[in-house]
Every structure is written in structure tokens, then in C-alpha cells.
Structure 1
Amino acid sequence: MSNLKPVTVSRQSSREERQTALYQIYKQVLERQPYIYERKILAKAEQDFLNDKIGVRRFLKELGHSEIYLNSFYHNSSNMKFLELCFKHFLGRAPLNQAEIKFYCDILMYRGVAQMITTMLDSEEYRKAFGCFTVPYPRKQEFHESPQAYMESELLNHELLGRRGRSIPTIYWHQLGLNCDAGVCRHPEANEQVELSLSQEELAHLLKLLQSPQSSKTAANLSPQQKELLRRAIG
């Protein structure tokens, strides 16, 4: 999945080593380096990290709860797509299954975005994978739940921001019958001559259906026209 050497800091790390870790944190979580005005907002958290007052995990909480992260990924994405991005940024993989998505989606909807990110960073998986001082990275796991789970993590960890839209997470592209092997999803039998349109209201309704607890069943029961409308809207 990645040949990236994990970046870890400790109490003995120099300021230069912590600066390297900070660069890698932004690369992994923001998928870019902050703009000048954003550095001003993050100035206190950055200095606390560089001065060894807080570790990587604590800094990730500060960054994840900040408007900088939320403006980049939360406010302009569907809840489901945002969850997928959080898995990528903080756990270095794609969601495994619908049960995992539902667990974090319930926290997001009923306890808020900050608590959802905190729960992910406080999880046993995060602790075992990264501890308090290793920067999250695209993990090369020894075992995967399924070939699909492996493929989704491969695609997600290597795609550019917004490459496949900000509405539907990867796990549902498969349920919609799309081929994502090349990194860009296309339906193998799509008829380019079919003219279909999808209003904002129709799109919102279909996305709401996919975000329901029975989303897997819902996706399977979408009509051919509804599936085609979704493909055209997000393909």
C-alpha cells in the first residue's frame, strides 16, 4: 500500500525532527500544507507540539477539531464521505464494512463531529497502530477482511482529494455496480447517449437513503434509473 517509513517522535526528538513530523501530519491529514492564515490559527498547537508539550495524537485532535480541517472535509462533503476521509486520515485505511460505518455515523449524528474524531483517535486500533507519537500513514496491513476492503484502501489512500466526488464513499460505488479498478469509477455498461438529469432535491433524497441504517439494502433496491442518476451525478 505504501513504502512510506513511519515518522515517530519521542521526548528525545529534536525540534527539527518534530518539524518533519509536523510536515508529515499535514500531508496525511490535510493532504496539503496549511496556508499562511491557517498557520496563524494553528500557531499555539504547533508551538506546543514543537516544544514537546503535546504528542502527535493530541495535536491530531487539535487539528481534527479545528475549522481548518472541518472546512476542508466536513462542511463540503456528505456525512458518509466525510467518515471515509476520516478513516483515511486518522487510521490509514478505508472503512471495513457497513457496521463500522454505522458505529461512527451514529456518533457523528448524535454526539457531534468532534466526538466522532476523538473516538477514532482514542480507539484501540489507533493506539495499537500508532500510539501517541507516530504520525498516521497508509498502512500495509497483513490481513484484509476481503479483496474489496484491500482494493478500497488502495484506491482511497492514493487518490487525490475530490477525485471521486464528495458525496458517495467508495464502499457504495461497488453497490452501485461501478468499476473502480483504474482509480476512476465508470459503469461498464454506461450508455453515454442517455440523457438524465438529477435535481438537488433528488440527489439529497438518494443520499439520505444511503445514509440510513439499512443503507446496504437500500442501495441494492434502488431502481436502475436511480442508480444511473447517481452514477451520472458523482461519476
Structure 2
Amino acid sequence: MLDFTPVTVNRHSSLEERQFALTQIYRQVLERQPYESERKTIASLEKDFLKDKIGVRRFLKQFACTDIYLNQFYYSLSNVKFMDVCFKHFLGRAISDHQEMKFYNTILTKQGVHGLITAILDSEEYRKTFGCFTVPYPRKDNFYPSPEAFLESKFLNEEHIGQRGNSIPTMYWRQLGWTCTNGVCRHPEVNEVLNTAPKTTSKEIQSLSTNDLLELLKTSDVTTAKAIVANLSSSQRQELSVALRH
């Protein structure tokens, strides 16, 4: 990251420079290059970018609402995990806390994907960090709100698509006490979870939806699963019981 040079285009950029920027956009936002069949559906959008009719930010606003991006991330992920990857793709960091997650989750719920993407790309943070013409990238800030924020961004930016499942956002992995190394999380001993952060573990488990709990239990060993169930509220137990019967 120390040697990383942000990719920026302007009205004086050559076609080759814009083509390179387009490649970097897909690397950051789609986490791969579009397939040939997919490029046909965004040919007009790419043409506008390459001819300098639109900048990076406007390109992202439109591309993030295409079936290419939505099929890759939105339809296959839970809402909270989708927000997690949106922050990774467009702000180069993880969601900082529950307040930020709640704020953007409300936008996603009430305004849909377009509202969420617009809110992120129109945010003051995005404008100050990337402006209209710089391709977003994994950030290495000089200051983080907390050590947890630093670790969560590091893990999120290093993970591959689906590497830690499709439901649980980065923030929950840490708060549940699971150990992460190089973007990969492994189940800790249950005693370590309970002794390290018993209050936080219980609180975070009780904030999970039924679908998130199911995903979490699927990837847990027997001992860890028992510890998770022990921290469930009575309503969660009932909802989980109904879900398992179906």
C-alpha cells in the first residue's frame, strides 16, 4: 500500500489511460473483469467513460445498479453483508460501527440499492477522498476511530468474494470473538470467546437476524454452536426453531 499510486483521469487523459482506469475500476468494484457477454450490456456506459462524457463517480453510480454488479453481490448476499462490500468497493474501508450500519441499512431498506449507492458516492467522505475522477482503492489511513476499525478494514480489503460466507459482515466476525488472519476467520475455543468478550458476544448474537444466525450456525463446530445458542433471546430461539423445521 505504501507504493500504491491512485488512478485518476481528467479531460487531458488519453484513451489508453482511461482504458487502464476502467480496468482498475472493475478490479476494485467488481473484483474481476466483466465477461465478454456482460460487456455488451454496458457497452454504452463504457463508451461514455472512454470518451470523457462521464467521470469515475458517475460511472460507478450507474454501474453499481446494473445486473452485473447486483448479480455478483446484492442478490447473493444478506443486506448487512452487501453494505459491507459496498463500503469496501466504494470507500475502501469497513463499516465503522453499528450507528453507521443502522444509518445505511435504513437507506437500503427504504430507498433500495440505488439510494444506498447514491448516499455512499455523494457522501462528504467519498468526495474528499476520491472526488469525481479518482478510482476508489483500499485505503490505509493515518488515523482510525479505533484499533477495531483498522483491523476490520484490513480483513475486509484482503478477503475474496465469499471467503467468509454471504451473511455475516466483518464487524460481527470480530465482535463475536472469532480469530482472523490474512482475511481468513477461524473458530476460536468457546472459552476464549466467552472470557474475552462475554457481554459483547451476547449482545452481538442477539442483534443477528434469523438468516444470519442460520448462516453462522452452519459454519460453526458443535461447541461453538452450543455457545451461540446459549446466548440467544427467547424470541430468537422460537424463530430459529420455526426456520429449522422448514
TM-score strictly above 0.5 = yes
Aligned equivalent of 2:48: 48
Aligned equivalent of 2:176: 176
Distance 1:41 1:145 in 2: 40
**Contact 2:28–2:136 at 8 Å: present in 1 too?**
yes
Aligned equivalent of 1:205: 210
Runs of 4+ in 1 over 6 A off after TM superposition: none
Please show how residues 10-49 of structure 1 align to structure 2 within 5 Å.
10-49=10-49
- Does structure 1 residue 226 correspond to structure 2 residue 226? no
- Does structure 1 residue 129 correspond to structure 2 residue 125? no
**Contact 1:4–1:137 at 8 Å: present in 2 too?**
no
User: More deviation in 136-145 or 171-180?
Assistant: 171-180
Aligned partner of residue 9 in structure 2, secondary structure: coil
Alignment root-mean-square deviation, CA: 2.5
State the Cα distance separating 1:155 from its structure 2 match.
0.9
Distance 1:189 1:105 in 2: 32
State the Cα distance separating 1:183 from its structure 2 match.
2.5
**Contact 1:38–1:68 at 8 Å: present in 2 too?**
yes
State the Cα distance separating 1:224 from its structure 2 match.
1.9
State the Cα distance separating 1:204 from its structure 2 match.
6.2
State the Cα distance separating 1:223 from its structure 2 match.
7.4
Aligned partner of residue 25 in structure 1, secondary structure: helix
- Does structure 1 residue 97 correspond to structure 2 residue 110? no
State the Cα distance separating 1:160 from its structure 2 match.
1.1
State the Cα distance separating 1:177 from its structure 2 match.
1.9
Please show how residues 72-83 of structure 1 align to structure 2 within 5 Å.
72-83=72-83
Aligned equivalent of 1:218: none
Change (3 A) 1:188 1:139: same
State the Cα distance separating 1:190 from its structure 2 match.
5.3
**Contact 2:7–2:135 at 8 Å: present in 1 too?**
yes
**Contact 1:2–1:139 at 8 Å: present in 2 too?**
no
Distance 2:53 2:82 in 1: 30
Distance 1:20 1:10 in 2: 13
State the Cα distance separating 1:187 from its structure 2 match.
2.4
Aligned partner of residue 48 in structure 1, secondary structure: helix
Per-residue displacement from partner, 1:171-193 (whole Å, max 9, x unpaired)?
A: 001222211134321222159xx
Q: Which amino acid aligns with 1:207?
A: D
State the Cα distance separating 1:2 from its structure 2 match.
5.9
Q: Which runs of 5+ in 1 are unaligned?
A: 192-202, 210-221, 230-235
Distance 1:225 1:164 in 2: 18
Aligned equivalent of 2:62: 62
Distance 1:146 1:83 in 2: 20
Q: Which amino acid aligns with 1:224?
A: A
TM-score, normalised relative to structure 1: 0.82
State the percentage of identical aligned residues.
60
State the Cα distance separating 1:4 from its structure 2 match.
2.3
TM-score, normalised relative to structure 2: 0.78
Change (3 A) 1:182 1:226: farther
Larger Rg: 2
Per-residue displacement from partner, 1:190-228 (whole Å, max 9, x unpaired)?
A: 59xxxxxxxxxxx9615289xxxxxxxxxxxx9724389
Q: Which amino acid aligns with 1:83?
A: M
Aligned equivalent of 1:118: 118
Q: Which runs of 5+ in 2 are unaligned?
A: 192-207, 215-224, 233-246
Q: Which amino acid aligns with 1:205?
A: T
Q: How many residues align?
A: 207
State the Cα distance separating 1:161 from its structure 2 match.
1.0
**Contact 1:2–1:138 at 8 Å: present in 2 too?**
no
